[in-house]
Structure 1
């Protein structure tokens, strides 16, 4: 699967059912030696879509439970 195929998918929290963001709005942390994705960094937004400065959530690849047609389900009880 290419990143372009993932980029428009919504990230949904399995625990709360809340929308975390759209994958295309995230930054990726990639292991330089293996090329594998380590985590996604998601900026937090305020009301009206304005980005909060320096407020981010990090989702590790191991927290992804399911990649569907329109969304990615993640278990965020371990997000730091």
Structure 2
């Protein structure tokens, strides 16, 4: 799967059954020593109502499906601007 494929998937918060939206752009934070993905980063955009940059630890990504990414975003709720 390509990173561009992931950026076109809708993100769902599995802990609250809430749609977070389609990121349009995704960045990855990769550990230089191990090569493992540490975080999925969704940069802020002027079009996203909730604004701010979102960062989700890789272990909190529950499933990457054909059309959606399901994450456990419950512990991030208070860190997201506008939520």
TM-score, scaled to structure 2 = 0.69
State the Cα deviation string for residues 29-51 of structure 1 (Å, max 9, x = none): 111122221111223456xx167
Equivalent position to 2:71, from 35, 56, 74: 74
Mapped to 1, the partners of 2:10 and 2:62 lie a distance apart of 13
Q: Which runs of 5+ in 1 are unaligned?
A: none
Whether 2:49 is the aligned partner of 1:61: answer no
In structure 2, the residue corresponding to 1:78 is in which secondary structure?
A: helix
What value does the CA root-mean-square deviation take over the aligned residues?
Answer: 2.4
- TM-score (ref. length: structure 1): 0.71
Extract unaligned runs of 5+ from structure 2. none
Q: Pick the structure with more strand per residue.
A: 1
